Every structure is written in C-alpha cells, then in structure tokens.
Amino acid sequence: MIEYKNLVEKINNCTNCCLGYKRTKAVPGEGSFSSDIFLTGEAPGYYEDQSGKPFVGRAGQLLDKLLESINLSRKDVYITNLLKCRPPNNRDPLPDEINACGDYLKEQLEMISPKLIVTLGRYPLTRFLPNRTLANSRGRLMKYKNIPLFSVYHPAAGLRNGNIMAILKNDFTKIPEIMERLNVAKNKDIQTDSQLNLF
Ligand code: URA
C-alpha cells in the first residue's frame, strides 16, 4: 500500500483532470489516521482551495459544531472530499472529475480503514452507493462493501435551510449510537437499518 505522504504528494501534483490546472492548492484531506470515522464531502470551495484544508469555510465551521455536539473534534476523525480540487464557482462535480479522483478516495479509505463512513450530501453518497438517494437513505445506516456507511445532508444545505439544519443536527446525534452498536458488533458485521427492517 502506498504511504500517506506519497499519496498527498500525488494529489498535490495531480493533473488527472482539468481542475488540477486551475487550483490554488489541492485539498487531500486531514485528520487522524487511526480514526474510526471517515467523513467525506463533495469538493473544496474557495477557502479550502486557498488553504489546502478541507471544510474550513462556513460549511466547515458548521461541521466543527456538529462534531463538537457529539464530543468529537477534527482530530478524532478523518475528513476528505470526493474531489481534491475546487470546481470553478463551486459548481457540482462532473462524473469525469469524480472518476479522476476515485483512486485517491479508495486509497485513503484503505489507509484509514474506518469503522464508519459518513457521507456529507448527495455526491459522496451516490459515489459509494449509486442506487441510493438522500431522500431514501439519509439518517440510515447502510454498508459500502463491508464498511458501515451513514448518510447525512451536506452542512452547506443546512446553512441554506432551517429544516435541513434540524435534520442534520439530529442525524449527527445518531453517530455515537452507531459507534456503540459497532463496538458491540466488534467484527464489524453490524446489521444495517434495512437488515433490521428499519427502512
Ligand atoms: N464543501 C465540501 O464539500 N467540502 C469542503 O471541503 C468544503 C465545502
């Protein structure tokens, strides 16, 4: 397996798609490598592109608060995005861009080997589980391959809409319960919500 610093270097020098020619800084991801929780958003925005760090703008400040609300900080989790470079004007990621970055996400996942993936918004959810939609699966525990996956709204959506904010906050409160369930099912063979007929 490639070493983390080599992966970061590859991402920082990547020109697999045209976004690599337009970025200020690539945003590989950050956090604890021994973390049980792997969060992935969509793509860097303006502040992330400037700083090279994920989720440092307004959505990131909300993410910090959501983590704090369940007694976690950035140091306790690993945070990345589907895309490692900012799309112009923060437009939605294109399928080719998501594919061009796909191996990086896969390698990060292999390195961190988390107990839980938390997808922030629609794009990361459908990257892992193409047949799902936020409408039919947010707030639910599912699985990607054998890794439990929990899907929530993107924090930026929470900033735009008070109802979504309330749902997002409530969904975050489920994360400690899920970790508890996972720790009980130590072999990671946790039952998903659909196996438990919860949806
Ligand atoms: N939105 C994302 O999806 N990722 C970031 O890093 C910042 C905003």
Reading the block at residue 182, the tokens are: 């996972």
Instruction: Return left, alpha or beta for 139; rule: phi > 0 is left, psi -120 to 50 is alpha, else beta.
Output: left
Which of 48, 97, 153 has most ligand 1 atoms within 8 Å of its beta carbon, as the pocket-test mutant? 48
| Structural domain boundaries in the chain | 2-83+96-185
Give the number of other CB atoms < 10 A from CB of residue 179. Answer: 18
Is 90 exceeded by the pLDDT of residue 184? no
Q: What is the pLDDT of residues 73-129, one digit of tens each?
A: 999 999 999 999 999 999 999 999 999 999 999 999 999 999 999 999 999 999 999
Distance 35 CA to ligand 1 centre (A): 19
The C-alpha atoms of residue 74 and residue 71 are separated, in whole angstroms, by: 10
SS3 148: strand
The C-alpha atoms of residue 113 and residue 58 are separated, in whole angstroms, by: 28
SS3 133: coil
Cβ < 6 A, ligand 1 pocket: 41-45, 48, 54-55, 57, 59-60, 81, 156
Decide if 141 contacts 150 (C-beta within 8 A): yes
Q: pTM for the full model? A: 0.94
Distance 186 CA to ligand 1 centre (A): 31
Distance 54 CA to ligand 1 centre (A): 6
SS3 147: strand
Helix or strand (DSSP H, E) at 138: none
Q: What is the pLDDT of residues 54-74, one digit of tens each?
A: 999 999 999 999 999 999 999
Least confident of 20-29, 111-120, 153-162, 188-197: 188-197
The correct CATH number of 2-83+96-185 out of 3.40.50.2030, 3.40.50.620, 3.40.470.10, 3.40.50.800 is 3.40.470.10
Helix or strand (DSSP H, E) at 105: helix 102-112
For 19, 31, 38, 144, 148, the CA distances from 181, given in Å and listed in that order, are: 40, 23, 17, 17, 11
Q: What is the pLDDT of residues 157-182, one digit of tens each?
A: 999 999 999 999 999 999 999 999 99
